[in-house]
Amino acid sequence: MSEQKLQSQTVQTTGHAWDGDLQEYNNPLPVWWVYTFYATVVFALVYWTIYPSWPFGKGWIGGVSDITYVNSEGETKTHSWNTRALFITDMNEAAVAQKPYFDKVAAMPYEQIAQDPDMSGFIISAGKSLFAENCAACHQAGGQGVIGFFPNLTDDDWLYGGSYEKLHETLVGGRRGYMPAFSEVLNGDQVDQLANYVASLSGIGHDADKAVAGDVLFHSETAACYYCHTNDATGRQDMGAPNLTDNIWLWADVPGARTAESKVAAIRGVISGGLNKGVMPAWSDRLTPEQIKVLTVYVHELGGGQ
Amino acid sequence: MNFNFKHEWIETNIGLMSVLTMLAISVGGLVEIAPLFFIDETIEKVEGVRPYTPLEQRGRDIYTREGCYTCHSQMIRPFRDEKLRYGHYSLAAESQYDHPFQWGSKRTGPDLARVGGKYSNEWHVQHLVAPRSMVPESVMPNYPWLLSTPLDISDTTNRMKALRKVGVPYSLSQPEYDANVKQFGETVARQLHIPDAQENLVEQANFGNYDGDPSGISEMDALVAYLQVLGTMVDFSKYTDDAFVEYR
């Protein structure tokens, strides 16, 4: 049928023939297509006139449309249309909507923010997204941390302190953990004795004789562990020296070790190798003071705040 | 007819058709790209942007070798959501020494234009070796060999010479070095001096110990050094939010 239809029409050919008899029909484009094409041409002309488009000399044609925005000094400025000015406008609009909350955050003391029902709703939603983007990569989505790498923020144990002020200090300035490698000053037996003593502090299976010897070593000038971890091994938050008596572990993977021997071995590894990690970046350049304050309260409310 | 004659003439001359096809398809590129070389204000005038140090540049080579750009862009657009997540939008000036630039057009992973300083070296090392140990929902492949492969530093100077040819101001002679001291200050200029490249690389890697293993220089050292400098060169607190509008 289509063949009949073709024959019934008088379609022109392009006029040239290959191999003597091969010819090509010259069908016109559909009318709707042609007019759509013309419409796009007209659209382009209008678009070029309104928005910045053609390069011209050492600059470009800015277009007839302007954009007015308010800069950080509060001055109203007008510039030929561009996305950077549009961005400022967008940021300003959002800032206006959030301003009452952030102003309150800036003005209120931490305790009051945490207790105010309206504000704690804001802290939970704003804090959650700030935490997810900036903190969760290390401390994980729920703040549970990763043993061996990043501390748990939901327990009661704090390396540098869990008060609002200390959390704020940590967020603003960052932290850097350090413990010397004791393999350089102690022999293998001594490290083993210390590890058994540290295990005994948390009630983990250990060799009692070695633990006694480790106790002496811990408080001796040879190892001088008490210097940072204190005499009763509860740690010093001003130095980031952890409490060794609470059975909460960060660097030695004690919970992941199955047998008492491997738990002691994990502690031994930390003592002999030391630590030159536990780096927390400083956030003062990346987040605003209000955002840091929101995060301070958010982290405090994760469960371990003091 | 005259028209038909020309058409047939092109179709039967493959050489002519190739030339005309080339001309037709290059129009788009020429119109869009060429004028940018002549516009004065394409690159914003900002302080702090410098070419990469030898170690950072080697890290960048590994970044391109491993194809990081296929999933990670380095281009923060001037939108509110991007600002909130990644930081200040990227400036043209910040990639002026990038050859090739790593802007990218697709994100499977997050944008990395300002990842520098956001995480610790330790996190980067662990995350590159085993991404899911740090980010459980990640689809990023593991790159364990970066930690075990020593960095080949033998061709560092040649790589820098190649970049110098395409316009990166690495210095070979004393006058070039002096010009760099003037433009970037002495500390940076020293890092840009090609004859000292290997020495500088070793020094930076040993001092920074980016991979946590002080015994040697691995590819991880270089890559983490590069990641940690991304987006950190310009101090945006020096500029008002509308300073860059003037360039558009």
Quick one: closest CA in B to A285, which residue?
Answer: B237
Indicate whether A27 pLDDT > 60.
Answer: yes
* B248·A84 Cβ contact <8 A: yes
Give the residue carrying structure tokens 């140090």.
B53
Q: Which residues of chain A make contact with B78, given a CB cutoff of 8 A?
A: 83-84, 86-87
* A88·B242 Cβ contact <8 A: yes
Gap between the Cα atoms of B115 and A210, Å rounded: 47
Higher pLDDT, B247 or B67: B67
3-state class (DSSP) for residue A198: helix
Give the residue carrying structure tokens 């070695």.
A210
Q: For the segment B29-54, what is each residue's pLDDT rounded down to a tens digit? A: 888 888 877 887 778 899 999 999 99
Give the H/E segment covering residue A300.
helix A289-300
CB pairs under 8 A between A and B: 102
What does the DSSP assignment read for A84-136?
A: HHHHHHHHHHHHHHHHHHHHHHHHS-HHHHHH-HHHHHHHHHHHHHHHHHHTH
A68 contact partners, CB below 8 Å, separation of at least 6? A76, A77, A78
**Torsion sign, CA atoms A119, A121, A126, A131:** positive
3-state class (DSSP) for residue A5: helix
- The residues with which A22 forms a beta bridge, in sequence order, are A18
> Are the C-beta atoms of residues B201 and B193 closer than 8 Å to each other?
no
Q: Report the pLDDT value the prediction gives residue A8, as an integer from 0 to 100.
A: 47
Q: For the segment A114-123, what is each residue's pLDDT rounded down to a tens digit? A: 888 888 888 9
Indicate whether B27 pLDDT > 50.
Answer: yes
Amino acid at A133: E
Q: How confident is the prediction for chain B on average, in pLDDT? A: 92
Length of chain A: 306
Give Dmax (Cα) for chain B: 80
Q: Which residues of chain B make contact with A69, given a CB cutoff of 8 A?
A: 242, 245
Higher pLDDT, B104 or A229: A229
Q: Report the pLDDT value the prediction gives residue A6, as an integer from 0 to 100.
A: 53
Q: How many CB atoms lie within 10 A of CB A181?
A: 14
The 10 Å CB-count burial string (b at 16+, else e) for B26-40 is: eeeeeeeeebeeeee
Q: Report the pLDDT value the prediction gives residue A97, as an integer from 0 to 100.
A: 86
CA distances A36 to A48, A50, A51, A286, B242, Å, are: 18, 21, 22, 49, 40
Q: Which two tokens stand for residue B189?
A: 């200029």
> Are the C-beta atoms of residues A270 and A252 closer than 8 Å to each other?
yes
* B134·A137 Cβ contact <8 A: yes
pTM for this prediction = 0.87
Nearest to B118 among A69, A146, A281 (CB): A281
Quick one: closest CA in A to B211, which residue?
Answer: A277
Q: Which of B1, B79, B122 to mutate to test the interface with A (most CBs of A within 10 A)?
A: B122
Region A281-301: what's the mean pLDDT?
93
Q: For the segment A227-253, what is each residue's pLDDT rounded down to a tens digit? A: 999 999 999 999 999 999 999 999 988
Q: Which two tokens stand for residue A140?
A: 């994980």
3-state class (DSSP) for residue A139: helix
Q: Which of A12, A13, A16 to mutate to test the interface with B (most CBs of B within 10 A)?
A: A16
Lowest mean pLDDT of A78-92, B5-19, B84-98, name the range.
B5-19
Q: How many CB atoms lie within 10 A of CB B197?
A: 24
A39 contact partners, CB below 8 Å, separation of at least 6? none
> Rounded to a whole number, what is the distance in Å from the CA of B91 to chain A's nearest CA?
11
Give the H/E segment covering residue A218.
helix A208-218
Q: Report the pLDDT value the prediction gives residue A227, as an integer from 0 to 100.
A: 92
- pLDDT above 70 covers a percentage of chain B that reads 98
Residues of A contacting chain B (CB within 8 angstroms):
14-16, 52, 55, 57-60, 69, 71-73, 77, 79, 82-88, 90-91, 94, 133-134, 137-138, 140, 146, 149-150, 276-282, 285-286
> Rounded to a whole number, what is the distance in Å from the CA of A277 to chain B's nearest CA?
7
**Torsion sign, CA atoms A127, A133, A134, A139:** positive
* B117·A286 Cβ contact <8 A: yes
Higher pLDDT, B53 or A53: B53
* A71·B241 Cβ contact <8 A: yes
Check whether domain B54-247 has CATH 1.10.760.10, yes or no: yes
Amino acid at B67: G
Gap between the Cα atoms of A219 and A232, Å rounded: 9
**DSSP letter at B99?**
S
Q: Which residues of chain B make contact with A281, given a CB cutoff of 8 A?
A: 117-120
Give the residue carrying structure tokens 């009692």.
A208
Q: Tell me, what's the ipTM?
A: 0.83
Give CA angle at A118 (A117, A119), nearest 5°.
Answer: 95
Nearest to B120 among A14, A146, A280 (CB): A280
Region A198-227: what's the mean pLDDT?
92
Indicate whether A3 pLDDT > 60.
Answer: no
Q: Report the pLDDT value the prediction gives residue B38, as an integer from 0 to 100.
A: 81
> Are the C-beta atoms of residues A283 and B118 closer than 8 Å to each other?
no
Indicate whether A4 pLDDT > 60.
Answer: no
Gap between the Cα atoms of A220 and A242, Å rounded: 19
Q: Report the pLDDT value the prediction gives residue A1, as an integer from 0 to 100.
A: 44
A49 contact partners, CB below 8 Å, separation of at least 6? A63, A64
- Which candidate, B93, B15, B90, B3, places its Cα nearest to that of B49? B93
Domains of chain B by residue range: 2-37, 54-247
Gap between the Cα atoms of B169 and A292, Å rounded: 39
3-state class (DSSP) for residue A67: strand
Q: How confident is the prediction for chain A on average, in pLDDT? A: 89
Indicate whether B10 pLDDT > 60.
Answer: yes
Q: For the segment B181-198, what is each residue's pLDDT rounded down to a tens digit? A: 999 999 999 999 999 999
B158 contact partners, CB below 8 Å, separation of at least 6? none
Q: Report the pLDDT value the prediction gives residue B42, as an integer from 0 to 100.
A: 79
Strands (E), chain A: 13-18, 22-25, 55-56, 59-60, 66-70, 76-80, 175-176, 279-280
- pLDDT above 90 covers a percentage of chain A that reads 62
Region A129-136: what's the mean pLDDT?
94
* B35·A55 Cβ contact <8 A: yes
Region B89-116: what's the mean pLDDT?
93
The 10 Å CB-count burial string (b at 16+, else e) for A210-220 is: bbebbbebbbe
Label residue A7 by pLDDT band (50, 70, 90): low
Cβ-in-10-Å burial (0-12, 13-18, 19+) of A169 comes to: middle
Q: Which two tokens stand for residue B165?
A: 């040819």
Give the H/E segment covering residue B2.
helix B2-11
Q: Which residues of chain B make contact with A133, given a CB cutoff of 8 A?
A: 84-85
Give the H/E segment covering residue A175.
strand A175-176
Q: For the segment B121-154, what is each residue's pLDDT rounded down to a tens digit? A: 999 999 999 999 999 999 999 999 999 999 999 9
Quick one: closest CA in A to B122, which residue?
Answer: A277
